Structure 1
Amino acid sequence: MHHLSVALITFACVFCSALLGLYLRTLLPQHHLDDDSIGVVKLATGLIATMAALVLGLLISSAKSSLDMVDASVTRDAANVVLLDRVLVRYGPQTQEIRDMLKQIVARAAGQIASGDPAQLKALQGTEALERAEYLERKLESLSPQNDAQRRLQARAIEMVNDAIAVREMGVLQAAGSTPTALLVTLVLWLCIIFGAFGLFTPANTTVVIALFLGALSTSIAIFLILEMNTPLDGMVTVSMSPMHQALAVLGR
C-alpha cells in the first residue's frame, strides 16, 4: 500500500477515535467521569502513551539509520567508481573498452535509481545487473599485464570491482527494507486508544477539536516519514544522487 494512503488511514483512525471519545462522553453516566475513574484511565493511558512513544522513537531511529546507510552506500560507490576509472587510466590505453563499459553501467544504474519506477528499482536486484558487473570483472581478469606496475594495477582494479559490487548489493538490500506490519498496526491501535481517552475526558469545544486534529495529523506525518525513510530509493524522501552524477561527469576523462 502506498505510504501516503497508510498515513491518511492512520490519521482517519486516530482522529475518529478522538471524536468518538468526545461523543461517548455525552453518553456516559456522570459517575463514570468522576475523579477516581479519570485517575485510573489516565494511568492506563499514560502507560500506553509511554509504550507508543518508545515504539515510535525506535521506528524513527531505525528508518533514519536505513536512509543514512543507503546514502553512504551511494557516496562510497560513486567514489569507488571514480578511483577505479583512474586506476584503469594508469594501466594504459588497453583499458579504454573497460572504461566505456564502466561508464555505461554506472549511467544505467543511476538512471534506474533516479527514475523512481518500482520496476526499474527491482531490476537493480536482478541477475542482469549482477551479470554486467561480473562481466566487467572478467574483462579486467582477461587483461595481459606487461610489467609489475600493470599487474599491481590489475589486481587493485579487480579488488575495487569486488568491493563496489558488495557495496551496491548492501545498499540495494538495505533500501528494500520495510516497516513490520504488525508493529505498525499495534502502534496505530495504541494511538487510537490514547486519543480516544483524550476525547473521553475532555469537554468538547473548538479548541479541543483543533488540538486533537493537529495531534492526529502530527502522528500520521511521523508514520509517513518512517515509511518513506525505510524505502530510500523511491518516494518523496530519497537519497541524493549528486555523488553519482558527479562521478559520471568525471568518468571517461
Structure 2
Amino acid sequence: MNSLAVSFVVFSLVFSGALVGIVLRRALPQEHLGEDAKDTMRLAIGLVAAMTGLVLGMLVSSAKTYYDGQRSKVAEMSTEVILLDNALAIFGHDSEPLRVEIRQSVGDAVDRIWPKEKSRLSELRPKSNDDVLNAQMQLLIPKNDEQVYAKTQVALLMQSLRKSYWLMFLESEQATIPIPLLAVVTLWLVTIFISFGIFAPKNATVMATLVICALSVSGAIFVILEMYSPFSGVLRISSTAVRDAMDQLARIR
C-alpha cells in the first residue's frame, strides 16, 4: 500500500468533509443550528473524537513497536554474522570456502533489502542456499576441543541467523493497517470535520486551520504506514549496522 497515496486520499476526504459541513450550514434551517443542537452535536462529536484519538494512538504504538522490533532484528543479525565469522576463523584456512560463501550470501541479502538503484524495490524474502552452507560446514573436521566447541557455535549461529531472517520476512508480510480499520478511522475523521464545517465561521483563518488539521491527521496515517514499511520509503531502517558488519568481515583474516 502506497503510504503517500493513501495519506493524500485521507486528506482529501477529511478536508472535503469540512467543505460539506460548510455547505450543510447554508442548507440547514436555522432552528437546526440553535444552542441545544450545538451542545448535542458537540457531545456526540466529542465521543467520536475520543474514539478516533484512542484508535490512532493504538495504531501509532503498534506501528512503532513493529518498526523498533525490525530495527532490533537487523542489529541482532549483524552481530550474529560477525560472531559466526569469528567462530569459523578458529578453523583457519579450512573454513575459508564457507566464510566466503557466508559473506557472499550476506552481501546478496543486503543488496536485495537495500538496493543501490532507486528504481529497484526492496526484496525481503530470503533466498535459501542452506544446502551449500550445510555441505561446506560438514567438511569442517575439528582437530581439538576449541574447534569442536566452535563448530557447535557455528551450527547454532547459522540456525539463529536463518530463523531471524525468516521471522523478519514473515512479520513484514503481515504488518499493515487492516483496510476496514483504516476505512472506519477515516469515516470518523470525516464526521468530525463535517461538524467543524457546520459550526465554523467562513473566513480565511478558519479555512487555513482546517487545512492544517486535515494535513495533521493524514500525516499521522502516513507515518503509521511508513513504519509498517521499514525497509522502504521515508522511514527506512538504515543498513549501517549490516554494512559495518560486512566491513569487519572484510578485515578479518
TM category, shorter = over 0.9
Contact 1:141-1:158 within 8 A present in 2 as well: no
Give the superposition deviation at 1:178: 1.2
Query: Which amino acid counterpart does residue 158 of structure 1 have in structure 2?
Result: A
Shift in CA distance, 140/53, structure 1 to aligned 2, threshold 3 Å: same
Which whole-Å deviations, capped at 9, do the CAs of 1:149-178 have from their partners, x for residues lacking one? 211110110100001111111222223311
Which of 150, 155, 160 is the aligned partner of 2:152?
155
Name the residue aligned to 2:228. 230
Which stretch shifts more, 171-180 or 191-200? 171-180
Letter matched to residue 27 of structure 1: A
Which residue identity does 1:154 align to in structure 2? K
Q: Which residue of structure 2 aligns with residue 175 of structure 1? A: 172
- CA–CA separation in structure 2 for the residues paired with 1:217 and 1:206: 16
1:18–1:196 Cα contact (<8 Å) kept: yes
Q: CA deviation at 1:117?
A: 6.7
- CA contact under 8 A between 2:88 and 2:99: conserved in structure 1? yes
Cα pair 1:137 1:161 within 8 Å, conserved: no
**Displacement after TM superposition at 1:25 (Å):** 0.7
Matched, 1:30 2:30: yes
Deviation at 1:120, TM superposition (A): 5.0
Helix, strand or coil at the partner of 2:7:
helix
The CA distance in 2 between the partners of 1:32 and 1:208, in whole Å, is 22
1:188 corresponds to which of 179, 186, 189: 186
Secondary structure of 2:90's aligned partner = helix
What RMSD, in angstroms, separates the aligned Cα atoms of the two structures? 1.5
Is the CA contact 2:122–2:231 (under 8 Å) kept in the aligned structure 1?
no
Identity of aligned pairs, percent? Answer: 34
SS of aligned partner of 2:58: helix
Q: Distance in 1 between matches of 2:52 and 2:135?
A: 52
Q: How many residues align?
A: 248
Q: Runs in 1 of length 4+ with deviation above 4 angstroms?
A: 116-120
User: Paired residue for 1:211, among 205, 209, 213?
Assistant: 209
TM-score of the two chains, using structure 2 as the length reference: 0.94
Partners of 1:73 and 1:167 within 8 A in 2: yes
Distance 1:99 1:117 in 2: 31
Q: What CA deviation, in whole Å up to 9, does each residue of 1:212-248 have, x standing for no partner?
A: 1000000001101111101111122111110000011
Q: How does 1:43-58 map to 2 (within 5 A)?
A: 43-58=43-58
1:136 and 2:133 correspond: yes
Q: State the TM-score, normalizing by the size of structure 1.
A: 0.94
| Greater Cα shift, 109-118 or 95-104 | 109-118
CA distance in 2, matches of 1:186, 1:117: 34
Q: Please say if 1:79 is aligned against 2:79.
A: yes
> Which deviates more from structure 2 when the two are superposed, residues 163-172 or residues 180-189?
163-172
Residue 194 of structure 1 aligns to which amino acid in structure 2?
Answer: I
